[in-house]
Structure 1
Amino acid sequence: MPGFQFSALQDEVLPQGPRVVVTGATGLLGRAVCREFQNHGWTVSGTGLRRARPRFLRCDLTDEDAVRRLLQETKPDVLVHCAAERRPDVMERNADAAVSLNVHASSTVSRETAACGALLIYISTDYVFDGRNPPYGEDDCPNPLNLYGRSKLEGEREALRHCPGAVILRVPVLFGEVESVTESAVTSLWQQVQEATEERRALDHCLQRFPTDARNVAAVCRKLAERARQDPSIRGIFHFSGKEQMTKYEMAVAMAQAFNLPSNHLVPLTELPAGSAPRPVNSQLNCSRLEQLNLSVEPRAFSVAISECLWPFTADKRWRQTVFH
C-alpha cells in the first residue's frame, strides 16, 4: 500500500482527529479497511505479525500484554478486528492454533478495547449458519457446521461479553485487491481460468456463494464507525453481502468472460468433494438492517469488480510492473 502512513506512538506527535486500530492489516480485508479509513481523514494504526513491518505495527494478538500496550500507546477511538484464521480446512488441521487466534485473541482484543473506551467492530462470517434455510437475518439462530464457523461465533460472543456496545459485522466470502491471487478463495480461481488446456478443471457447482468486495466491506466498517460514535444505538449484529449468487464454477466462468478467455475447460462439479470441512450450501445474508439505517453500500457487478482486481495478474507482464499494492 504505497504511501500508507501509520501513526507514531507518542501522544505529542499524533494528529488530532479520530483514531482507528485495524488488526490483521496485512490481510485482504485489513488492507482495504486501513485504506478506507485513511482516505476519509482517520489516523490509522494497522497491526500484523509475521508480515507487519515495515508497513504496519507488529503485535502478537495472543499476547495479552502486547495487546494492552498497543492500545495504551495508540489510544484508538475505534478498533476494527479483522485478524482471523479464515480457511475452514486449515482450521480442521490446526485447531488449537486457529482457536487461539479466532477465540482467545478475540477475547483479549475485546477486553482491552473495552478498557480503553473504544468502539469495537468485530468481523464475523456467514458460516455461523448451517445454510439450510436462507436468507438469514441478524436475529436468526446460528448453527455452524465446521470449526471455523464455531470459532467465529465464539468470537462474536466474547466481543459482546466484554464490549456490550460492540458492532458485529458478518460477511461472506471476500475478494479484492490482492497481493497474490491465492489470497482469496475467489481470486484463486484465476489460476484455473488461465489454464486453458485440454485437461479439464472441475469446479464446485453445488455450494451457493455471494462473493463480496473487501472494499465495500471496508466502506461499511467506516460508515458504522462514524455513525456509532455519534449514536449509541448502533450496536449489535449487522449483515453485509454482495448480491450475486454464484458457485465457484460460475465465478470462474464470469472471470473468463470478463477477460475474453475460453472457459470450455472448466467443468461444473455437482457433487461435494470428500475430506473437506463441511460448508453451508447457501448461507445468504439478509442485509436489511444496514440498508434501513442507510449504512450499506451498493455493490458493483461482480464481473466489473473482479476485473479490477485481476488485471495485474494477466499474461501481459507490463501490467505487473504497475501493480498498485
Structure 2
Amino acid sequence: MSCGAAELRITFSPGRVQLVQEEEVVPGGPRVLVTGATGLLGRAVCAEFLSIGWSVIGTGYRRARPRLLRCDLTDEDAVRGLLHEYQPDVIVHCAAERRPDVVERYTEAAVNLNVHATSMLAKEAAVCGALLIYISTDYVFDGRNPPYGEDDSPNPLNVYGRSKLEGERETLRHCPGAVVLRVPVLFGEVESVMESAVTSLWVKVEASESCTLDHCQQRFPTDARDVATVCRKLAERARQDPSIKGIFHFSGKEQMTKYEMAVAIAQAFNLPSNHLIPLTEQPVAAAPRPVNAQLNCSRLELQNLGVEPRPFTVAITDCLWPFTPDKRWRQTVFH
C-alpha cells in the first residue's frame, strides 16, 4: 500500500515496527492507517481508501508483505511510535483473532490482541487526535431475540464474542469519539478459499462425496467490499461531523444457513448440490454460536451512511471464479 508521507521511515528496534520493503512514497490526501491489512477486510479497506485518493498504510504481523508495515500491535511502544511517526487522520482497526474455536483454545493470545491491543490503540488514537473505527461482530449477542439494534444489551455466548465486546468498551472508554462497527460473517476476494467461513464452503461444493452442512444457525453473509465502503463513508462524515460516533451496525440482508449458502454457490456455478446434506441440529464445536444474531442497521441508514449490499449470488461468484477450473469457468460464463 502506498504510504502517505515521503518522510515516513520507521526505524524502531527489530520485531517492533519495520517496513517490510521501503519504496518511494508520495504525499496524498488524508492519512488512514489500517491494522490487519493482510486480512480479508483489511485488504478491502485499504483498496477502498486508495480508490478515493487517501494516503493509506497497512500493518500486518506474521503475514506482513511488501509495502506493508510489520507491527506487533500488542507492543505498546511500537504502537505509540507508529502513530507518532505516521500521524494518521483515521485508524481502521481490523486486526483481530476472529475464529471462535481458535479463541477458545488460545484465549490468552486472543484476548491480548482483541482487548489489550485495542485498548492501547484507543488510548494512542485519542492522544494523536485520530478517528478510530473499530470493527466488531454480531457475536456480541446471544441470538435469542433478533434483530438487534445498537442499544440492545449484548450477551455473548463465547470467548470470542466477549473479547470483542470488551474491545468495544475499551475503545469507547479511552476514545469517546470513536466509531464501533459491528458486522456479521464476512466473505470477499480471498487469497485462499479457506480465508473465510463462506468461501471455504467451495471445498464441499466441489467434493464428490456426500457431506453435511449446518442448516440451523442463521447467518447474514456480507461482502467485505461493502463493509469497506461503509468504513470510508463513516470516516469521511465523522471527520466533518463529531456526532458520528459510537456503535453502528452493517450487514448483508440475505438470511442463509451454511447449507443454503453452499447450495447457492453450487447453483451459481451450475454444479450439482445433491451431495450436500442439511444438518438441522446444532453442530458440536469448541465455541457455542448464536442461532440468529441478525443486526438492525437502521442507525447507519438514517444517517445516510448505509450501502446496498451486493446480492449474495453475484458477490460470491465474483469471489470464487478464480478458483474454478478454466473449462468449468468458461462453461459457467458462456453457456
| Same fold by TM-score greater than 0.5 | yes
Q: Which residue of 2 aligns with 1:6?
A: 3
- Taking the aligned partners of 1:146 and 1:231, their CA distance within structure 2 comes to 35
Contact 1:9 1:74 in 2 (8 A): no
Are 1:93 and 2:105 an aligned pair?
A: yes
- Superimposed CA distance per residue, residues 129-149 of structure 1 (whole angstroms, 9 cap, x where no aligned partner): 000000000000000000000
Aligned residues: 314
- Taking the aligned partners of 1:316 and 1:163, their CA distance within structure 2 comes to 50
Secondary structure at 1:169 match in 2? strand
1:100 counterpart letter in structure 2:
N
Q: Which residue of 2 aligns with 1:140?
A: 152
Of 32, 50, 54, which residue of structure 1 is paired with 2:66? 54
- Superimposed CA distance per residue, residues 190-209 of structure 1 (whole angstroms, 9 cap, x where no aligned partner): 000001x2x21100000000
- Taking the aligned partners of 2:65 and 2:4, their CA distance within structure 1 comes to 14
1:304 counterpart letter in structure 2:
V
Report % sequence identity.
78
- Taking the aligned partners of 1:34 and 1:253, their CA distance within structure 2 comes to 31
Deviates more, 1:34-43 or 1:47-56: 47-56
- Taking the aligned partners of 2:117 and 2:202, their CA distance within structure 1 comes to 33
> How far is the alpha carbon of 1:53 from its aligned partner?
2.5
Are 1:125 and 2:125 an aligned pair?
A: no
Are 1:274 and 2:284 an aligned pair?
A: yes
Please give the TM-score of this superposition, normalised by the length of structure 2: 0.91
- Taking the aligned partners of 1:242 and 1:31, their CA distance within structure 2 comes to 19
Of 170, 174, 179, which residue of structure 2 is paired with 1:162? 174
Q: CA RMSD in A?
A: 1.5
Are 1:285 and 2:301 an aligned pair?
A: no
2:99 counterpart letter in structure 1:
R
Of 72, 82, 96, which residue of structure 2 is paired with 1:84? 96
124 and 317 in structure 1: CA distance in 2 versus 1, 3 angstrom threshold:
farther
Deviates more, 1:309-318 or 1:143-152: 309-318
Runs of 4+ in 1 over 6 A off after TM superposition: none
Of 194, 218, 221, which residue of structure 2 is paired with 1:211? 221
Secondary structure at 2:317 match in 1? helix
Contact 1:9 1:73 in 2 (8 A): no
- Superimposed CA distance per residue, residues 52-104 of structure 1 (whole angstroms, 9 cap, x where no aligned partner): 12131111000000001111111100000000000000000000000000000
Deviates more, 1:307-316 or 1:48-57: 48-57
Where in structure 1 are there 5+ consecutive unaligned residues? 320-325
- Taking the aligned partners of 2:212 and 2:5, their CA distance within structure 1 comes to 49
Deviates more, 1:133-142 or 1:270-279: 270-279
2:201 counterpart letter in structure 1:
L
> How far is the alpha carbon of 1:16 from its aligned partner?
4.5
Deviates more, 1:294-303 or 1:236-245: 294-303
Secondary structure at 2:289 match in 1? coil
Q: Which residue of 2 aligns with 1:185?
A: 197
Contact 1:146 1:278 in 2 (8 A): yes
9 and 150 in structure 1: CA distance in 2 versus 1, 3 angstrom threshold:
farther
287 and 217 in structure 1: CA distance in 2 versus 1, 3 angstrom threshold:
same
Q: Which residue of 2 aligns with 1:259?
A: 269
Are 1:104 and 2:101 an aligned pair?
A: no
Contact 1:62 1:105 in 2 (8 A): yes
Of 242, 245, 270, which residue of structure 2 is paired with 1:235? 245
Of 290, 297, 304, which residue of structure 1 is paired with 2:307? 297
> How far is the alpha carbon of 1:317 from its aligned partner?
8.0
> How far is the alpha carbon of 1:166 from its aligned partner?
0.4
- Taking the aligned partners of 2:310 and 2:62, their CA distance within structure 1 comes to 33
- Superimposed CA distance per residue, residues 106-151 of structure 1 (whole angstroms, 9 cap, x where no aligned partner): 0011111111110000000000000000000000000000000000
Q: Which residue of 1 aligns with 2:42?
A: 30
Contact 1:85 1:91 in 2 (8 A): yes
Q: Which residue of 1 aligns with 2:21?
A: none
> How far is the alpha carbon of 1:253 from its aligned partner?
0.3
